[in-house]
């Protein structure tokens, strides 16, 4: 029996715990976007790999 994924939603909430009470350090928005993009690419790659493994069986 085949499994077909038509839509996949992944929600993640990351809360950063501050070690120091110094809030003057802000994360660069471009860096945040880059990290999000990396995460999405890695998740997509993993899902495709799992689907490929399942298809080969």
Write the pLDDT tens digit of every residue in 46-55.
999 999 988 8
Range 5-14 contact pairs with CB under 8 angstroms and sequence separation of 24 or more: 5/47, 5/51, 8/47, 10/43, 12/39
pLDDT tens string 6-35 = 887 888 888 877 665 555 567 788 888 999
35, containing H or E segment: helix 29-56
- This prediction has a pTM of 0.50
Q: Alpha-carbon distance 28 to 22, whole Å?
A: 16
In sequence order, the 6+-apart residues with CB closer than 8 A to the CB of 3 are 54
pLDDT at 13: 83
């Amino acid at each position: 029996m085949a499994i077909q994924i038509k839509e996949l939603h992944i929600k993640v909430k990351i809360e950063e715990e501050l070690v120091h009470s110094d809030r003057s350090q802000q994360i660069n928005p471009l860096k945040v976007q880059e990290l999000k993009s990396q995460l999405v690419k890695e998740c997509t790659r993993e899902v495709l790999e799992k689907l490929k493994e399942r298809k080969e069986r």
